[in-house]
Amino acid sequence: MIFGPLPIAAAVVLLTLVGGLTHAARSSAPLQPQEAAAANPHPLFLVIDEDSIDNGNPPNFFSASDVNDDIAALALRSELRYFDAHEGEIIKLHTGTVGDEGWFAVKEIPASWAAAGPTSNGLENYLGNNRIPYSHNVGPGLGTGPDPEVLLDKIPRVTPLRADGLAMLVGRRVCAVVYDSDISINYGPLNGSLKGANLGTVAFEVLEVKELTGYSTGSLPEVTVRILDAEKFCRARVLKLFKDAPEPSSSSEPFDTVP
């Protein structure tokens, strides 16, 4: 059977349907990193420990100077030297293992942090100002003062990020305080200790999260990031807490390694 050309009205209907389907397909597609960043302009606040960023760690094998290890101290908020010198560079970071994670969401800011001063904003008192000299206006008990760590233990809902939580960061900008040692986590109830010396601050945009192979079976994903200016993005009053990060029930459950 031979069909002739479609009538004009029928052709218009067909094109409309095809265009609608195409638009629907576009609308349901996941946001690309740049689109996600535009839709979520406020950076998220995290803390990162030595299981992700430290001198000698794969895959970057940073030197001690690269990560401020030579000046590590309580309340240090200066941008890590490598990140300061390589704004815009794309690098990969490992994120620890199940039970020994490297990235953490701080989902609640204790009232004691706001009461500590010097401002009325608890996160600002902890984060300080990395644009001014040490001790960066960090509040007493939050890394400074006569009892410098008194307000940094058993912080509620400090949440280690495993594969599902890390995958939620794609397209988001992050500001993080980096620790020179492990951040310890307790379960039931979930809380963490933020005591210990700091290497400083970093900022980046998360571009990709993928399964890490070739290491231990509990290895958490490898994250690809674009380095941003920490002095621009680590400003407490524009940061958001990663409140919807999934909370693990224990140090081994869920065994969540594949994003």
Spatial separation of the C-alpha atoms in residues 248 and 199, rounded to whole Å: 26
Q: Return the CA Rg of the chain.
A: 22
Among the residue ranges 17-31, 101-115, 194-208, 214-228, the one predicted with the least confidence is: 17-31
| In a domain? residue 225 | yes
| In a domain? residue 109 | yes
CA trace torsion 33, 97, 245, 194 (10° rounding): -110
* pLDDT for the residue 41: 82
155-167 tens-digit pLDDT:
999 999 999 999 9
| In a domain? residue 15 | no
Q: Considering the chain, what percentage of its residues have pLDDT values greater than 90?
A: 84
Q: What is the reported pTM? A: 0.86
| In a domain? residue 248 | no
| In a domain? residue 23 | no
In this predicted structure, the answer to whether residue 17 has a pLDDT above a threshold of 80 is no
Exposed/middle/buried for residue 175 (C-beta within 10 Å: 0-12, 13-18, 19+): buried
| In a domain? residue 105 | yes
Buried-exposed string 176-211: b where 16+ CB fall within 10 A, e elsewhere:
bbbbbeebebeeeebbbbbbbbbbbbbbbbbbbbee
* pLDDT for the residue 36: 56
Beta bridge partners of 47: 104, 177
Instruction: Tell me the average pLDDT across 13-25.
Output: 37
Spatial separation of the C-alpha atoms in residues 205 and 173, rounded to whole Å: 4
Query: Of how many residues is the chain composed?
Result: 259
Domain around 88: 32-241
31-64 tens-digit pLDDT:
566 665 566 789 999 999 999 999 999 999 999 9
> Where do we find the tokens 């030579």?
70
133-180 tens-digit pLDDT:
999 999 999 999 999 999 999 999 999 999 999 999 999 999 999 999
| In a domain? residue 176 | yes
What's the pLDDT band for 241 if we cut at 50, 70, 90?
very high
Count how many domains the chain has.
1
* pLDDT for the residue 33: 60
Q: Which residue did the predictor score with more confidence, 247 or 34?
A: 247
| In a domain? residue 110 | yes
